[in-house]
A and B are shown apart, each in its own frame.
Chain A
Amino acid sequence: MAGFLLRRLGSLAFVLWAMTVLVFAIVHLLPGSVAHMILGEYATNEAIAVLEAKLGLNDPLPVQYWRWFSGLLGGDFGQSLTMERPAGPVILEALGRSAVLAGVSIVLVAVIGVSLGIHSAVHKGSATDRALTLGQYFFIAVPEFFWCILVILFFAVWLGWLPATGYTPIADGGVTGWAKHLVLPVSTLVLGLIAHVSRLTRSSMLEAIESRYVLAARAKGLPERLVLRRHALPNALLPTITVLAVDIGILIGGIVVVESVFAYPGLGRMLVYAIDNQDLPLMMGGMIVITAVYALANLAADILYAVLNPRIRVGGTAA
């Protein structure tokens, strides 16, 4: 297990380092001067010279990269160009708020998705199973940004139950005010993912139910409930963990969209803001942090998988 962990941590560090190179290269090697991009096409030459000096853009690229990279290692994300404050705290605050969205969503997706999937598999061919299958087709294909429009229209405009956009800290609005602003973004985020997870849980559960070990468990006279819970379910849930890890990638994409629509001040909206305003330190830092979160989530899924599946764990240690 220790060897497995060590190898995985090593590849995580490599991915993060490679991402810093990639982000830096794309920002600095593409045609066009960075200062020009920030100031717009009508900038005077003096203004460009001043900004280039301020950002150290005249240094050789490896020097610039090293300055940025060594800053990152020390937790310094540089100075935000549009907010006149260090990018690090801005990114951290936004990350915290996004983590709330993502955390609530992934728990809901896991619990509801897996339960629906098991229900469908156990009652295969029933009316609910067919309704759920049809619903999955629909929910997987509808884009998140269109869901946003639909739920705003329905719950905020027509019913007037919930605020359409914005965010209230607990300190200002209390827990209810804070939670009210979470309902619509979270429900938009989870709809498609619940469909995805429940669909894959259904197929892996069906595979388990039709397997020989379940047949054996039934043959020795175990009650059906125990057969499902002790024999089918643990095996059916293994692939679901991998699916959940994949879904975290989709969730991150969804968060970028959903935060923009609902004006929720998280990491995704910050990233789009930084891109729109060409705030490079904020943008580059945000991308590195999102990559790190994604890599850590995948690592967590791998560890969970290894813990639940002894075959991988033994193989991993031996290799």
Chain B
Amino acid sequence: MSGAAGAATPARRRLPRTLVIGLVVVGVIALLAALGPWIAPHDPDAFAMRMRLRPPSLAHPFGTDEFGRDVLSRVLAGAHYSLLMGFGATAISLAIGVPLGLLAALHRGWVEEVVMRGVDLMISLPPVLLGLLILAVTEPGLFKTILAVGLVYVPIMTRLARAVALELLAEDFVEAARARGEGAWHILAREIMPNAWPPLIVETALRITFAILLGSALSFLGLGPQPPASEWGLMIAESRPFIAEAPWIGLAPGLCLCLLLITVNVVGEGLRDLLDPRLRGRGHG
């Protein structure tokens, strides 16, 4: 009983310090991404052929690229792509996956069978391949990349939502609601959802890291936003011919991407420890 009471009041526990630090850093990055176009010291797309491949200096803290564009301004202007891909794709996988999972849990029988066999099928494809398949035959672009990454993670969300709902459906308070004669919608909205969100939030937070990783990898392969967009994966790909003479072009967006990924991951794991202590110390396999 004490375990259930503890889990019911997670907000009263003190927030772990790593979670706070992670949230602050992610917040700062999100703020910089939102303000990017206004606080960038130079025009991110302006060519300056006399300023090509300059190393970092006071005027250009991250140096300039092969067209003389200011790398800092480009990194700032491109920050929103990674965030949009991470959060957008995860939102899509939630929006499709959770209703499917709940549907499968509530309608045992052929509906569940169809949904779950479809999920099994999608999980048996390597994630990158699924993304590549969707992007292969259409013109690349930001929203298609977000959609492709989101679809890749739908089956994981469906499985999780179904498992959580099935667990809750066996609880006494759901039984009580049924005995009171409540309908399926009431049970779903009032009994299942309020109790299902902690594991869903945890999975969502951890999924964002993978979504950013997959999205930027697809952009790196040329299947995301197109030049002159300064998406970080794309910037790293474009920096490759100049890696020996001007490594800062690729290092700047790369290090920013790493910082973002590490802090988003720290937040995800912090939330997991906070909301789902059973899983503490486990990796996400």
Contacts and interface: CB of A to CB of B under 8 A. Distances in A.
Interface of A: 11, 14-15, 18-19, 22-23, 26-27, 30, 32, 37, 137-138, 140-146, 149-150, 152-153, 157, 196, 199-200, 203, 206, 239, 242-243, 246, 248-250, 252-253, 256-257, 260-261, 271-272, 275-276, 283, 287, 290-291, 294-295, 298
A257 B220 contact: yes
Is the contact region of chain B dominated by helix, strand, or loop, or is it mixed?
Answer: helix
A124 to B, nearest CB: 10
Contacts of A248: 126
28 contacts: A11-B120, A23-B133, A32-B138, A137-B262, A142-B258, A143-B217, A144-B217, A145-B216, A145-B237, A149-B236, A149-B239, A149-B250, A157-B243, A200-B282, A203-B282, A206-B281, A239-B285, A249-B126, A260-B221, A272-B222, A275-B132, A287-B129, A291-B124, A291-B125, A291-B129, A294-B124, A294-B125, A294-B129
Given A242-B285, A260-B221, A294-B124, A143 B261 contact: yes
Contacts of A294: 124-126, 129
Contacts of B265: 137, 140-141
Contacts of A14: 121
Given A157-B243, A206-B281, A142 B217 contact: no
A143 B257 CA distance: 8
A276 B137 CA distance: 10
Contact size class for B?
35 or more
A153 B243 contact: yes
A135 to B, nearest CB: 12
Interface of B: 120-121, 124-129, 132-138, 209, 213-214, 216-217, 220-223, 233, 236-237, 239-240, 243-244, 247, 250-251, 254, 257-258, 261-262, 265-266, 281-283, 285
A50 to B, nearest CB: 21
Nearest to A29: B137
A55 B285 CA distance: 43
B155 to A, nearest CB: 12
A206 B281 CA distance: 10
- Say what secondary structure dominates the interface of chain A: helix
